[in-house]
Structure 1
């Protein structure tokens, strides 16, 4: 506020800051506090105060017939973002900040959708323990990419055993072939390598025996165990259920790329920025 010494009239001078412009530059423009302070001609504490005004409004989608992706991403230990996304539209329907990924968390999100009038025709998720049984009333597709990652964790990306090399090659075909062909390849593999998987070794100290090729066996059994949920998209083509969560992984990558510019901010600031980014873009 200024006052003219000649006429006594008071007036506001200088350039006014637009808080929404500052928030937009911070969230979407990948600009640091120092860059924003220089751009607007103020100090960094002023920019911090304006950014603290971020307030998001969760808007419920008007599209109620949905197929959904669900997954969780993390920033270090104990801070994750659980998301349920419309598989056909670039819209996050529900999200929650969590310490750990749990089936109960996903059920909370599914319940919220149901209570708000959504009809869920299909769900794409990873292989979290207990989740398939908890969602048994829905058509559930396990992300084939997650299944391939499970097998890769057991066998590594460059296995040495011939049986493991063959099983890894079959797994890599999961997203590129049809149900009958994949099951046929797996059946043929198991017929040829079952005696090898059944080999046992003795612990000379205890006298007890255990499977010699435990990791190979675990990789194979994970494919067999998850088979009922790996081909839901194939069994119900009319629903157009995606076979992977790649679209949701793309959202996570986008959010993390934006946050990487502002590394070192507090947890509360990070939460506020994620909420603002979701409200603006998803």
Structure 2
């Protein structure tokens, strides 16, 4: 029995080394036999990781979904300060119900950091009514880059992108105040331009 356990431990280490590393299946097998490797590690895919439910309240919790193949999405909640994985939830998409199922298993944090989707915010309001919600700054930057492109042609866009790029450098309350003041100044400087509209070919108005 001990010998079989040690053999399985070595196989699991081999599986994780291949799964998390850069090597192909053929390169990961000592004999260069990809089929033998797949047969040897087949049982490893059936291992279901378990995490003890956290009993301590966290200051910040970050929650976000990652879409996999075959119509699956994995929502993961981590400690916003340590990066420790607290729990996860499989779902078809990032709905309120999916987030609510996840949040109901965790103690309410002081702050939830999410990507701004309504499902996560609605679930937080219901499961953790006293928790504040912070929009994930990386998602703000990503969305801004999508709207402006990485090289905006207009001066207003270039200025706004510089503000967005500086978001993740904000670390203190004073820096946050100054960033907010700079954004307000941008809005004041370009308010007439922002209010402009143009008529598209489909006769709809666009900003």
Short-chain TM bin: 0.7 to 0.9
Q: From the CA coordinates, give the structure whose radius of gyration is larger.
A: 1
Residue in structure 2 matched with residue 56 of structure 1 by the alignment: 48
TM-score (structure 1 length as normaliser): 0.57
Any conservation in 2 of the 1:73–1:80 contact (CA below 8 Å)? yes
1:184 aligns with 2:184: no
Residue in structure 1 matched with residue 205 of structure 2 by the alignment: 210
1:197 aligns with 2:194: yes
Rounded to whole Å, the distance in 2 between the matches of 1:65 and 1:97 is: 23
Residue in structure 2 matched with residue 145 of structure 1 by the alignment: 138
Q: What is the aligned counterpart of 1:74 among 64, 67, 76?
A: 67
Structure 1 runs, 4 residues or longer, greater than 6 Å off: none
Secondary structure of the residue that 2:118 maps to in structure 1?
A: coil
Rounded to whole Å, the distance in 2 between the matches of 1:154 and 1:101 is: 22
Residue in structure 2 matched with residue 160 of structure 1 by the alignment: 153
1:172 aligns with 2:169: no
Rounded to whole Å, the distance in 2 between the matches of 1:150 and 1:175 is: 14
Q: Which runs of 5+ in 2 are unaligned?
A: none
More relative contact order, 1 or 2 (CA 8 Å, 6+ apart): 1
1:38 aligns with 2:27: no
TM-score (structure 2 length as normaliser): 0.75
Residue in structure 2 matched with residue 19 of structure 1 by the alignment: 8
Distance 1:22 1:182, change over 3 A: same
Any conservation in 2 of the 1:36–1:47 contact (CA below 8 Å)? no
Secondary structure of the residue that 2:78 maps to in structure 1?
A: strand
What's the RMSD between the two structures over aligned residues?
3.1
Residue in structure 1 matched with residue 110 of structure 2 by the alignment: 121
Aligned residues: 190
Q: How far apart are residue 165 of structure 1 and its match?
A: 0.9
Q: Which runs of 5+ in 1 are unaligned?
A: 1-14, 215-282
Rounded to whole Å, the distance in 2 between the matches of 1:64 and 1:21 is: 34
